Structure 1
Amino acid sequence: MVKNLRSPVAYAKMKGLMSYFSALIKERKALASDLMLKLVASPKMYRRFDSHGFLGPEEDGADTLCFRDASPEKVTAADFDYLKVIGTGSFGKVLLARHKESEKYYAVKVLQKHTILQRKEQRHIMCERSVLLRALHHPFLVRLHYCFQTGGKLYFVLDYASGGELFYHLQREHVFSEPRARFYAAEIASALGYLHGLDIIYRDLKLENVLLDRHGHILLTDFGLCKEGIDVEGRTGTFCGTPEYLSPEVLEQREYDRTTDWWALGVVLHEMLYGQPPFFSESRSRMLQNILHQPLFLGPGISKPARDLLHRLLEKDPEKRLQNLAELESHPFFSSINWTELVEKKVRPPFKPSLSGPVDLVHFDPEFTQLPVPPSLGVCEGSGLAFPGFSYTSENYPAVTSQPSQR
């Protein structure tokens, strides 16, 4: 049993280099062995939302007509001041923005329509909107406040998590203490369990998609890879995700269920405790082979309950893996967690981001914040329609009241 014991710093650098290597594959034509070869030979098969290098200046001068649906929508791109870039992705940028009238701060995800249409990703964008609307009632899921569009762009106006990405904090600290990792894992598990109760598989859990609010609670974000309509007995087969977090059944292109999210939680917990994913290798092909075949090796330094939980989450056979939130809640690793108080945010976070104010971006990667704010984001003229049904204003629409099932 051989494990590549890379340092956390080396892993963080390697993960940055691999950021372009991820996200989603639609075709399911090849056998698993052929797929492995393609993954190694062609990193562009993965399109990860937080890869870099788009929405460049050459695109910012594109069509800026402001389209509206046939609704009482009143919020437009011109209602915000766009202050700083705080994230990037395959279709656009995420910006810190201030609503001019209310002076409230938001994270605004701005996506390029032509890129979405070119890659035929309309369905995933509308799925993200749908999941955001259904996830309004959970404290650890980012909330949607507005959607609107211009001629060339789509805008999601979301909660601003001023504590930044959990990945950025781990990158700086290398590992978290077990109590801190337990707190984050519990809040993530609560959010995943809520989505599962709505018959939604998340499918994109990774440290970059776990944000911290100003108090230190987590907010799960980025729902473009979610799969709706998967009940407790349901299966799906779409190949998607990020390499380090893919479960064996996804890699082998077998049908999978909600337990693929619990595998990803195991990967995240391992990262927090050890500083890198459980099967990581600088060789892409070796890493994917490790996920499929290498037995889980856990180094010293963590408690017996933590070791047991990792083994039960990172079980290669999904039938033997932990199956649901109730099983996680009763696991000894979480014996100190009061789950009712956790969801009510009565459990004090082990870390509170130090901030001088809402525009203090000390917890965001300078790789993002040093990028120029694209011009013309606030230009809004004319009328028309390109993505029917996209626009949304929480003030003009009733809140979605669907609650998770108790299955």
Structure 2
Amino acid sequence: MTLIQERPLTYAKMKGLVTFISGRSVKPSDFDYLKVIGTGSFGKVLLARHRKQGGYYAVKALDKQTIIKRNEQRHVMVERSVLLKGLKHPFLVGLHFSFQTPKTLYFVLDFANGGELFYHLQREGSFPEPRAAFYAAEIAAALGYLHSLSIVYRDLKPENVLLDSEGHVMLTDFGLCKEGVAVGGITHTFCGTPEYLAPEVLLGQPYSLAVDWWGLGAVLFEMLSGLVSLTGLSFASLFSASLTHWIGLRPLSELKEHQFFASINWDDLIARKVRPPFIPKVTGPCDVCYIAPAFTLQPVPASVHDRAEAAASSATFSGFSFMNPERRLTEGHKRSDEIYYL
């Protein structure tokens, strides 16, 4: 998402404003890389501007050698797959392009310059209940959509919840997702961030989609109290904690009926008609005032200025490259208001 302060454009209106790149591959030199806005195990996330169309994007650049050395190829391809499946949801970060060079994998994603939920919690300590309920509801809508696609997210934490320039949630980082987990299905892999993991994951037991609702409870607890839910709490007390017990195993359809969300009109929420309780004060689409200086003060790595042409998919990352025909490189681009689903 390029973050211009205007209402979402319909597809019909958007067609007249865009130039669609076709007939050639996207390559690293198509972008100017302006700031580091995030880091990870395999590379960095950079704010980038497309040189011709002018749109701003979050470009996730991953080092192939590091991925292969750690045997994480499957997680990268799962992230790509989930990004493709989540293209039409308003609270999931969207993929515009993915491409590769001989050394690097690139995801070109929506840039949400409202910052991480983690950043705001660090600054404010906790949120008033209406604000916490709003974020929890939008996160729940995103998780419910993933569950409808038989995807368990498994990595919910404040660092993976972004705010766009209008104050709406955008869930990101899908590398730990597991596909093919239908309602009632189970999986076994131990993964995630310990402070937000459900007890059955920590105990090495089989688990289901419900672990994401536990994670939501943990994040909600943190939003309201300013405390990480496992800090100083035993499993016994955690099970009875008022903000986590009720959410533990409930599907979205039941969660929506809980009195904690009584003020939420879910139809309006998914249509982005509910006014966010906090609207970031950004000056434009490249404003990084809500991105932690620990990221933005880092130098942009020289490796991202790769002048190599986009490479054909290698055997290791076969099928990685992607160009979304519904997403155009344009400074005025926003998600169509015709493609929101719950």
Q: Offset at 1:384?
A: 4.8
> Mapping of 1:124-273 within 5 angstroms?
124-273=75-224
Asked which structure has the greater CA Rg, the reply is 1
Count of matched residue positions in the alignment of Structure 1 and Structure 2: 307
Residue 274 (structure 1) aligns with: 225
Residue 324 (structure 2) aligns with: 394
The yes-or-no answer on 1:310 pairing with 2:244 is yes
- CA offset digits 1:125-157 (Å, max 9, x no partner): 000000000001110000000001111110000
Residue 65 (structure 2) aligns with: 114
1:396 & 1:179 partners in 2: Cα distance? 34
Residue 295 (structure 2) aligns with: 368
Q: Does the aligned pair in 1 maintain the 2:28–2:308 contact within 8 Å? A: no
Bigger RCO of structures 1 and 2 (CA < 8 A, at least 6 apart): 2
Q: 1:335 to 1:225 in 2, by over 3 A?
A: same
2:307 & 2:77 partners in 1: Cα distance? 22
The yes-or-no answer on 1:380 pairing with 2:310 is no
> 1:356 pairs with 283, 302, 309, which one?
283
2:23 & 2:105 partners in 1: Cα distance? 18
Q: Does the aligned pair in 1 maintain the 2:163–2:169 contact within 8 Å? A: yes
Residue 381 of structure 1 aligns to a residue in which SS?
coil
1:293 & 1:230 partners in 2: Cα distance? 28
2:245 & 2:150 partners in 1: Cα distance? 26
Q: Does the aligned pair in 1 maintain the 2:190–2:202 contact within 8 Å? A: yes
Q: Offset at 1:297?
A: 6.7
2:244 & 2:218 partners in 1: Cα distance? 8
2:152 & 2:29 partners in 1: Cα distance? 35
Q: Offset at 1:295?
A: 4.3
Q: 1:323 to 1:75 in 2, by over 3 A?
A: same
Q: Does the aligned pair in 1 maintain the 2:313–2:320 contact within 8 Å? A: no
2:52 & 2:206 partners in 1: Cα distance? 49
Q: Does the aligned pair in 2 maintain the 1:198–1:403 contact within 8 Å? A: no
Residue 327 (structure 1) aligns with: 254
AA at the equivalent of 2:52: E
Q: Offset at 1:381?
A: 2.5
Q: 1:184 to 1:216 in 2, by over 3 A?
A: same
Residue 304 of structure 2 aligns to a residue in which SS?
coil
Q: Does the aligned pair in 2 maintain the 1:322–1:328 contact within 8 Å? A: no
Q: Offset at 1:376?
A: 3.8
The TM-score with structure 2 as length reference comes to 0.86
Q: Offset at 1:379?
A: 2.3
Q: 1:198 to 1:275 in 2, by over 3 A?
A: same
* Unaligned runs of at least 5 residues, structure 2: 1-21, 328-338
- CA offset digits 1:260-315 (Å, max 9, x no partner): 0000000000000000122214xxxxx7xx2x3444576xxxxxxxx4x53312xx
* Unaligned runs of at least 5 residues, structure 1: 1-70, 282-286, 299-306, 314-320
> Aligned Cα RMSD in Å?
2.0
Structure with greater proportional helix content: 1
2:313 & 2:133 partners in 1: Cα distance? 46
Residue 31 (structure 2) aligns with: 80
Q: 1:129 to 1:72 in 2, by over 3 A?
A: farther
Q: Offset at 1:166?
A: 0.6
Runs of 4+ in 1 over 2 A off after TM superposition: 292-298, 378-386
Q: Does the aligned pair in 2 maintain the 1:73–1:393 contact within 8 Å? A: no
1:345 & 1:204 partners in 2: Cα distance? 24
1:384 & 1:176 partners in 2: Cα distance? 47
> Mapping of 1:95-106 within 5 angstroms?
95-106=46-57
1:198 & 1:189 partners in 2: Cα distance? 14
Q: Offset at 1:403?
A: 10
Residue 216 of structure 2 aligns to a residue in which SS?
helix
2:205 & 2:23 partners in 1: Cα distance? 45
Residue 338 (structure 1) aligns with: 265
Q: Offset at 1:73?
A: 5.2
